[in-house]
Amino acid sequence: MRSCIRTPIVNNISMKIFTLLFLIVLSTKGFPQHFDSKVAESPKNIILMIGDGMGYNHLLATYYYLYGTADSCVFSKHDFTNLAQATYPAQLVGGEIPTWSQGYNTGKNHKNPANLLKGATCSGSAATALATGKKTYNGSIGIGIFGDTLVNLVHAAKASGRSAGIVTSVQISHATPAGFAAHNKSRSNYENIAQQMILKASLDVLMGAGHPHYDNNGQAKNMSYRFVGGKELWSQLKSNPAPHIIYLDDHKTKLLNKKGQPNPWLIIEDSTAFAMLLEDNPPQRVLGIPKVHGTLQQARSVNKKSTMPFETPYISDIPSLDLMTRGALNVLQQNANGFFLMIEGGAIDWAGHSNQSDRMIEEMIDFLESVKSVIEWVEDYSSWDETLLIVTSDHECGFLWGEGGITAHFPIVNMGKGHIPKMQWYSTNHTNALVPLFAKGAGQELLELFADNYDPQHGAFLQNTNIAQTVFLLWCKPDYSGAAK
């Protein structure tokens, strides 16, 4: 059985080159914002799952803890394409004329892994690359290196008549979800980003943390409104009945569907309401903000005696990422044309920044449970002939490595099922390491074609920009020159 951790070199793909060349030629002819659906019949649905901060060792440590082996990996069980991905951003080099450089040096990094501490991306630029197919500067949200507004995958979905959704375990306007539905020069402008996502992006599902009335432990407390677009916007969204006209900063925004009919958000906050999304006849549009501020669970207070995953009890009445994922799928599948859904295990990154081995494994487990639910949905309600699933990371966080230093490739050590492996964190920030990528379904062969680089440790790898480029080839890149800034 093929391991989910090691990546083989891509072989025998020459027969697929004609498909790629055909799509490239087709794409150069230009496409209107609304085009004949026959051009993009396959895949009908695209689901992109991002483990924020998830590196190879995060995944391996979780499987060691869960099963005592990596051979039980869900990706090897389901025969996924197994590749690596480079994550570096565009970096500005000094001089009179601005020059943008970028890179991942396989030779230097293999010889001395400490080099991976240099040139790392932030989640904003990584999300922008994943969502738009363009490298950009750290801190950017959907803005290119020369200030241009970039077309993203949500645009592509909506232009083709599909639905679009974003689900995350952190705040809805944090960097990764923002990169798929907003445009801003700085990822720190949370309030403006949230307003774009809620009012302008035409999303059908948006779920994540950032509740202004609850703290990180799910306790009632007045917190910041910036992650939900400000106090005025939140107050209007919470009105009864739900409004389809929003007044903000002397501007009027109408929430309408493609037929010009009122299309207000249904606001849900309780676990019971999230669970109800799994029933027949779900709502058409959902804004789900669980009653917690920072993350679903990772940011809850630490029990001082707790050293193992789940020893500190979870906050009650907070939906899991898995539950939100299944609810989002049930809402989005109502569109006969299909959908795009981005699901982020965002708090894996937060645990990495804090070097929390127990919380990292908790977050990884919730993310992997969400992956299993998506696979089940594809096999029960769709098929691999009409749905493409991509599971990857935006970057590695924490330099999670084996004991012995970062001057060589020391492995983490399996201590058996139910035990955290012997491993060590060497940073509280991101690294420039390659990250895993798994894909299955209609169009997965295009990702294999893009993997034209080779790394001595992880094998064939592609660029983070190749994901959006693949989707644009499959669905056609729309003209969104009027995208919101």
**Could you tell me if residue 308 is inside a domain?**
yes
Average pLDDT over residues 296-304: 92
d(CA 232, CA 289): 16
**Could you tell me if residue 88 is inside a domain?**
yes
Residue 20: per-residue pLDDT = 52
Residue 92: per-residue pLDDT = 85
Residue 299: per-residue pLDDT = 97
Which residue range forms the structural domain that includes residue 350? 45-475
- In total, the chain counts a number of residues equal to 485
Looking at the predicted structure, is the pLDDT value of residue 68 above 70? yes
**Could you tell me if residue 73 is inside a domain?**
yes
Looking at the predicted structure, is the pLDDT value of residue 15 above 50? no
**Could you tell me if residue 9 is inside a domain?**
no
**Could you tell me if residue 17 is inside a domain?**
no
Is residue 294 classed as helix, strand or coil in its secondary structure? coil
In this structure, of 186-195, 338-347, 369-378, 475-484, the range with the lowest mean pLDDT score is 475-484
d(CA 166, CA 54): 19
pLDDT band at 3 (very low <50, low <70, confident <90, very high): low
DSSP state, residue 116 = G
**Could you tell me if residue 345 is inside a domain?**
yes
**Could you tell me if residue 93 is inside a domain?**
yes
Under 8 Å between Cβ of 423 and 399: no
The mean of the pLDDT values for the chain is: 91
Q: How many helices (H) and strands (E) does the chain have?
A: 15, 19
Q: How many domains does the chain divide into?
A: 1
d(CA 205, CA 278): 14
pTM above 0.85, yes or no: yes
In sequence order, what are the beta bridge partners of 412? none
pLDDT band at 481 (very low <50, low <70, confident <90, very high): low
Greater confidence (36 vs 124) lies with 124
Closest listed residue to residue 415, CA positions, set 43, 9, 64: 64
Residue 5: per-residue pLDDT = 59
**CATH code of the domain covering residue 176:** 3.40.720.10
Greater confidence (370 vs 304) lies with 370
**Could you tell me if residue 212 is inside a domain?**
yes
